[in-house]
Structure 1
Amino acid sequence: MATALKGHKSPPSGGKFNWMKHVKYEHLVAGVSGGVTSTLLLHPLDLIKIRFAVNDGRTAAVPQYRGLTGAFLTIFRQEGFKGLYKGVTPNVWGSGSAWGFYFLFYNTIKTYIQDGNSAQPLGPSLHMLAAAEAGVLTLVMTNPIWVVKTRLCLQLSEPGQKVNNAAVYAGMVDGLKKIYRTEGVRGLYSGFVPGMLGVSHGALQFMTYEEMKNKYNQHRKRPIDAKLTTVEYLTFAAVSKLIAAATTYPYQVIRARLQDHNHRYKGTWDCIKLTWRYESWRGFYKGLGPNLLRVMPATMVTFVTYEHVSRYLLGFRKP
C-alpha cells in the first residue's frame, strides 16, 4: 500500500492504523454478491473453457471436443447436468471471495491515496497500481481455491478412483486436504507464478473501467464519483473486460495447465515452451471463445451487482 503513495501527498498523521478508517466492508459484501451471482449463472461456460485450455492434443486423459456446442452436449450426455457444474462449489467460494477481497482492497487503497476524497481523480497509473496491489493480495488468499476448482472441473472419474495415479476428489474440502497431504503448500499454490502475471489483467481492467467512468462524468460536467445508470455500468464493464481479456488471456491457459493433475510440467517456462513447440501461438488462446462468452456477461453482472449493492449499503453510513 505504501508503494502507491510514492511521490504523493502524505495523509494526515493519526497512528500507524490510520488507514483503517478507509476500510469499508460494504465493498467486501457487494463484491461477494456480484461474484457469487455471476458464477452460479455461468459456471458451465467456465468449466468448458478450462477443458479447452488444457487440451494440448497429447494427453489421452483429456477429452476432445468439437466446438462450444459440441462440448456442452458431450458433457451433458456423458456426465449429466451435474457434470456441467463440476467444481461449482470452489468456484463460488473462489469467485465470491476473490471479487469481495479485490473490491475491498482496491477501494481501501484507492481511498487511502485520495485521503477519503472520492471526487479526487487518480489518473491511469495510480488506478493501475492500486488494482495491481489489490490483485496480489487477493491472489495470495485465493490461489488454493482456484487449484481445487480447476482440478474438479477436469475430474472425469468418481471419488475413490485414480486416473494416471492422480487422486480423485469428493469436493472442495476433500480436494484441499488431499492436495496439501500429497503435494504440500507448493501444490496449493501451483499456477501462482502465471497467476501473478494475471494480476496485470485485473489492473488493466480496473484502470480502464475507472478511467472510462471518470472521463464520462467529466464530459457530463459531474463529479467523477457520480452514480451512473445500469446501462452505463454494463457498457463500461463489458468494454474494460474485453480489452483486458484479449490482452492477457495466455496466462490463463498456462495457469490451468500447471494446475491440471493430468499434465506434468517442470514449471512455468517448461509449460510455455512445450505449448509453443506443439501448438504454436494458437495454443495460448485455446478456450478464448467460451471464455469471452462467459467473462463478458459475468463481468457485467458482477460489476452492476457490486455498484448497486455497494451504493445501497454505503447509504446507511450517511447521517
Structure 2
Amino acid sequence: MTVFPTETLHSSLRGLSIWWEVLFPALFPFFVISELLLGFGIVHFFGKLLDPLMRPIFRLPGIGGFVVTMGYISGYPVGAKLTAQLIEQRLVNRAEGERLVAFTTTSDPIFLIGAVSVGFFQNVAIAPILAAAHYGGGLLIGLLMRFHDRHAPSSGTKKTAISRDGFRKRRPSRISEALKAMHEARLLDGRRLGRLLQDSIQSALRLMIVVGGLVVFFSVVMEMLTHAGIIEAMAEVLRFLFGLIGLPKPLADAGIFGLFEVTLGSRSAGTAGTGLMHQAAIAAWVLSWGGLSVHAQVASLLSKTDLRYRPFFIARMIHGLIAMTLVYLLWGWLGP
C-alpha cells in the first residue's frame, strides 16, 4: 500500500462504489423486511405451513422454508443473516442452522441474469443454463446436507397428544396452528411498530457497514496481490492444472479472480474467449463458490452464533463442482 498508494486509493474507491451503487440498494431493503417479518411473527406462520415439506426433504423445520426463499431471491449473505437470527431466537438448532447456511448462500437472480448473463457475457440466452446449474446445484447441496450431523435431534418436534381414555386428540388445522404460532411470536416480541421499524433499520445498517467494509478490503487486497505478481503466479499454477484435465488455460484467470470475488471472476469468465460452454461452466463455479469476500461476510455473521464455518466451506466447494458439472450435462438441453 505504501509502494502503490494511487492504486490503493482507486481500488478502495472502486469497492466503495460497488457497495453503494449495487449492494446497498439490493440488500438493505431485504435486511429491513426480514427483521420486520420476524418481529411480526410472519416467519413463524410460514414455518408452520411448510413444516410437512421441509422436514422429510431437507431435515429442517418449516421455518427454514422462509430462509430458503429469501436467500434465493435476495442472494448472499441474506441466508446466513436470517439463519443467525433463527439461531438467536432458538428456532433452529446448530445442525439445522449449518444445513440452512450451506444451501441458501446463493447469487440473486438479478445479478445472475442482469450482471452476469447480459452485462458480462452479453448473451441473455446463457441465463437458463447458469440458473439451472447454480440453483439446481444449491438444492442438491440441501439434499446432501440432510445427512450432515445426522444424529442431531430435530428442533420443535412434539409428540402427538393423547387423552386420558387413550385416544389421540384431534389436531387443529395447519392454518390455525400457523396463525397461533404467529400470534404467540408477536406477543413474545412485544415491540410496537415504531420501535420495531427503528430496530430493523439500525440492525440492517450495521450489517451493511460490515458488508461494505469487507468489499472495500478485498478490493484493495486483490489490487495489491495483482501488483505484487501473486495473482499471476497463482494463475500460472491453475493454467497448468487446467491443461492436465483438458480445460482451456485462459479460464485460469477467471478461476483466480473468482476465488476472491464473485464480480471480478464472473466478468473475467465472460471475456475469456475460450468457448461459451467452458466460460459458462467457470462462471457457474464462481457464482456457487461465492468468493472469499462472501465467505468473510458469512463468517462474520456465524461468529455471533455457535454455527461452524467448516460445513459451509465444504458445501461451497462441492456446490461449485456440482454447478460446473451440471453446465456440461445440461448444455445440450438448455445451452444457447
- TM bucket (normalised to shorter chain) is 0.3 to 0.5
Higher relative contact order (CA 8 A, sep 6+): 1
Normalising by structure 2, we get a TM-score of: 0.31
Q: Which structure has the larger Rg?
A: 2
Normalising by structure 1, we get a TM-score of: 0.32
